[in-house]
Amino acid sequence: MPDPQPVEGPVVLVGCGRLGSAILEGWLLTQTVAASDLIILTPSQKPAAEAARAQGARVNPPLEVLAEAKVIVLAVKPALWRDVMTPLLPFLGDQAVILSVMAGVTAPTLAEGIGGWPIVRVMPTTGVSRGGGVASVWSADDRARALGRALFQRMAETVDLADEALMDAATAVAGSGAAYFYAFTEALARAGEAAGLDAGTADVLARATLRSAAESMGDDPLDALIGRIASPGGSTRAGLEAMARDGRLTAMLNDTVAAAVHRNREMGA
């Protein structure tokens, strides 16, 4: 498959917090969008926005420039999007697409607040800043969906969702998932410490193991990867059996994802 082509702008980024900054850095790193095609709207000075300005991006220009915008990327807190978008709407042209990276805010809710512009929802991870993130994409509009993919597939493993209702689950697995792996790594390090390792050594071993596992995973089936390490009757198999006893690993992760899905829906209400 040929490499995806850069996206021609103007592309407007509304909000430059943690996720907005990660997206901006990823666009520039992967040359998804040229800096000269970027318009950044942010209420406060942000390092990522200033770095983009130095490369030719426009930061907080007069709103009249939004008339030619190809896409408006909403990267603000879910509770604030109505207040942020209302003053922008009179300046948008008919060709604009609204791209939301806000957790929990559904397309019907967005449409109710902004009107008839095509909407695409994308949930990326902050790993897009390094060109190695994950992004879930959904839209009922083919053009908007294609634009959403184009803006993220150079810097993320990108998946299409068949139903918007799946976005909360995708967010709970991928958007939040890195934190779960970090929490597991922390717990693994503390377990190593409990088994006799000093804290520093346990931290190094747990972190290095997570990195090594991620780098060697590839696209092989997960049960095959486990089987390469866990020999029948060996110590790894004993540990896995303890982890899975009484279904506790599956139950814990079901509860974890369900709690994140519930909170996503609360934030979008």
Structure tokens given for 18:
């943690």
Q: Is 76 annotated as a binding residue?
A: yes
Q: CB under 8 Å to 15, separation ≥6 — which residues?
A: 41, 42, 74, 75, 76, 77, 84
Dihedral (CA of 102, 106, 109, 114) sign:
positive
| Rounded-to-integer distance, Cα 18 and Cα 15, Å | 9
* CB 23, CB 38: distance < 8 Å: no
| Rounded-to-integer distance, Cα 144 and Cα 91, Å | 19
Q: Is 42 annotated as a binding residue?
A: yes
Dihedral (CA of 253, 256, 259, 263) sign:
negative
According to DSSP, the residues that pair with 134 across neighbouring strands are: 157
Q: Is 78 annotated as a binding residue?
A: yes
187-195 long-range contacts, Cβ below 8 Å, gap at least 24? Answer: none
Q: Is 101 annotated as a binding residue?
A: no
Q: Is 46 annotated as a binding residue?
A: no
Q: Please report which residue ranges of 8-70 form alpha helices under DSSP H.
A: 18-30, 47-54
| Rounded-to-integer distance, Cα 89 and Cα 67, Å | 10
Question: E strands along 63-194, which residues?
Answer: 71-74, 97-100, 119-124, 133-138, 156-160
Q: How many CB atoms lie within 10 A of CB 191?
A: 13
Annotated binding-site members for NADP(+):
42, 75-78
Annotated binding-site members:
42, 75-78
